Amino acid sequence: MTDQQTYQITRRTAAEYDPEVRARLERDAKEIIARYPKPRSALLPMLHLVQSVDGHITQAGIDFCAEMLDITSAQVTGVATFYTQYKKAPVGEYHVGVCINTLCAVMGGDQIWEELSAHVGVGHDEATEDGKVSLERIECNAACDFAPVMTVNWEFFDNMTPEKAKELVDDLRAGKQVLPSRGPGRLCTWKEASRVLAGFPDGLAHEGVQAGPESLRGLELARERGWTAPSADADHEQSHEPVQAGEVSDPPPNEPGKPIGGDVKPGSQEGRNQ
């Protein structure tokens, strides 16, 4: 976010939707706004909503959000440019993420990225000319036990290799059916995914596995060895006094005029979590 990126939002001469699209957007936006005690809370889902129509954040989308929430377009732009899921330029119908945070990178994410990017011929946050596929170097996506991890339109593709990654993208470009490791029985488009993020379910929640194999490893071992949590009525040997406020040192309260983090000796880990 503090990267030296300049977000150039494409300015349309008439930042307006055609009446039919506009009417649909208004209906959806009002539904979103009604979920919250205060209207402005609707802004993030509404940006996902306009992205579900335009594919990225356009001036029309910004102006629409501003008008619906009675704030300025500059205020909406300030929010839209802060979050990486809001795209400044069109992405592909299938937006492909490769996790390059440390663990996935080490497990092969870096090699996947290099080979895939060369294979497709596009770089970070760039789309192919046919508009089918775009690539992004993504940060940790909370699936580290499945490393190296990729995503397509925010669905999980686990335990990837450079070969599987290239095949995946080739299949997407060829219009072949591609299935996520932990996701529904069909891959939705970027715009369809954005609509779910805006809070409009697509009815696919019941499809796909409940858990990946890695998620079950501890449970399976416990079953195999007969390990369980203690039963509720068992006699408990230990009887502890609950932890008291004074015994907990983290997180230290921030006090005005004092270093945030409390009286921590700078540069040391002292005073934290002792």
Partner 1 sequence: MTTLTPVLTKTWDQPDSFTLAGYEREGGYRTLRRALDMEPDDIVQTVKDSGLRGRGGAGFPTGMKWGFLPPDSPNPRYLVVNADESEPGTCKDIPLMMANPHVLVEGVIISSYAIRSNHAFIYVRGEVLHVIRRLQAAVAEAYEAGYLGKDILGSGYDLELVVHTGAGAYICGEETALLDSLEGYRGQPRLKPPFPAVAGLYGGPTVINNVESIASVPSIVENGADWFTSMGTEKSAGFGIFSLSGHVTRPGQYEAPLGITLRELLDMAGGIRAGHRLKFWTPGGSSTPIFTDEHLDVPLDFESVGAAGSMLGTRALQIFDETVCVVRAVLRWSEFYAHESCGKCTPCREGTYWYKQMLKRLEAGQGSEEDLETLLDLSDNILGRSFCALGDGATSPVVSSIKLFRDEYVQHFERGRCPFDPAESTLWAGA
| Minimum CB distance to partner 1 smaller for 129 or for 224 | 224
Site for partner 1 in 66-95 (CB under 8 A): 69, 78-79, 82-86
As measured in angstroms, the least distance from the Cβ of 88 to partner 1 is 13
Rounded least distance, CB 24 to partner 1, Å: 20
Half-sphere exposure of 112 (CA within 13 A, CB side): 34
Angle at 169 between CA 2 and CA 111, to 5 degrees: 60
Q: Does 246 bind partner 1 (CB under 8 A)?
A: no
* Contacts (CB under 8 A) with partner 1, residues 204-233: 204-206, 208-223, 225, 227-230, 232
Q: How far is the CB of 135 from partner 1 (least distance, A)?
A: 15
Note whether 142 binds partner 1 by CB under 8 A: yes
Interface positions, 8-47, toward partner 1 (CB under 8 A)? 35-38, 40-45, 47
Check if the beta carbon of residue 95 is closer than 8 Å to that of residue 136: yes
Stretch that binds partner 1, among 16-24, 116-124, 169-177, 259-267 (CB under 8 A): 259-267
List the one residue out of 157, 154, 144 whose CA is nearest residue 105.
Answer: 144
Tell me the closest approach of the beta carbon of residue 14 to partner 1, in angstroms. Answer: 26
Q: Which of residues 145-204 bind partner 1 (CB under 8 A)?
A: 145-148, 151, 153-156, 159, 161, 180, 182-184, 193, 196-199, 201-202, 204
Q: Which is nearer to partner 1, 27 or 265 (CB)?
A: 265
